[in-house]
Amino acid sequence: MSEKGLTAPGFRARKGGAKIVMVTAYDATFARLVEAAGVDAVLVGDSLGMVIQGHDSTLSVTLDDVIYHTRCVRRGLTHTHLVADMPFLTFQVSEEDALRNAGALMQQGGANAVKLEGGVRSASAIARIVAAGIPVMGHVGLTPQSVHQFGGHKVQGRQEAAARQLVEDAVAVAEAGAYALVLEGIPGTLAAAITERISIPTIGIGASRACDGQVLVIYDLLGMDASFSPKFLKKYEDLSSVIQAALGRYADEVRAGTFPGDEHAFS
C-alpha cells in the first residue's frame, strides 16, 4: 500500500483536526471513483444486505458475503483505508470466533481493519481482536444488527438513561483499543458529548456535524434510490433519474434500430 493512505494511527491523529471522510461501497468500480475523489476511507458495510441484496435488514449477511465484496473493493483501491464490517453472529458468540472471523476479513478480504457493533457487550471481543494486531473500528447508537431489539431503525439515546448508556458504550469501545468509533442515529448533543469524552475519532451517520468525520453509503449520497430519503441523508446527485433516462434512450435506440450504428461495428 502507498504511504499516502490513511492508516489506523492516522485516524487517531485526526482526532479534533481535519474531518475524516468515509464512504460505504461494495465493488471495484465505485472503489476506484471513491479513491480518485480523495475520500479517506471505504467501508464495506453489512448494509450490502439491504443495498445490494435487497433484504429489509442486515441480519442475513454472511461472513463470506462481506469477504467477497471486500475483495472486490480492495481491487479498486491502491492506498485508501479499507474497513470491513463483521456481520451478525461473527463476533457475538465468543472472543475466539471474533478473532478468527476478523482475521478472515483481513487475510481473505484484504481489509485494513474491521468494524463491529456494540459497546460494553462487545468490549471483550474488541480487546481480543486488537491484541492480535487487528485494528478495530467500533459502532454504537443505532446498530442495525439490533433492529429487532430496537423495534425498527429508530434514533437512539433520546432518553437520559439511554444517553448515559451510550456514553458508557463509547468509553468501553475506546478503552478496549478501538481506533475510531461510528456513531449512528443519535442526537447531536449526545454525539458532541461522546466526541469530547473519548480520545478516538468519531465518525457520524445521522449524528450531526459534532463528530470527527462522516460516513454515507455511496448509493444513498448519489441518489440512486428515489424512495430512500431519511432525515440524515443529503443527496449530492439524483442519479436515479439520470440512470433511468439513459436506459430509456438506450432502449429507444435499440428498438428503433439506430443502435448500434456503423461506428460501433467492426470491419
C-alpha cell at 264: 460501433
Find cell 471486500 and name the residue: 70
Q: Report the C-alpha gap between 202 and 100 in whole angstroms.
A: 26
Backbone phi, then psi, for 35, in 5-degree steps?
A: -65, -40
Beta bridge partners of 180: 137
Is 253 a catalytic site residue?
A: no
CA angle (170, 190, 44) in 5-degree steps: 55
Question: At residue 166, what is the residue type?
Answer: L
Is residue 206 helix, strand or coil?
A: coil
Asked whether 210 and 204 are in contact (CB, 8 A), the reply is yes
Question: At residue 107, what is the residue type?
Answer: Q
From 35, 95, 175, 184, active-site residue: 184
**Quick count: other Cβ atoms within 10 Å of Cβ 7?**
15
Instruction: Supply the residues annotated as catalytic.
Output: 184
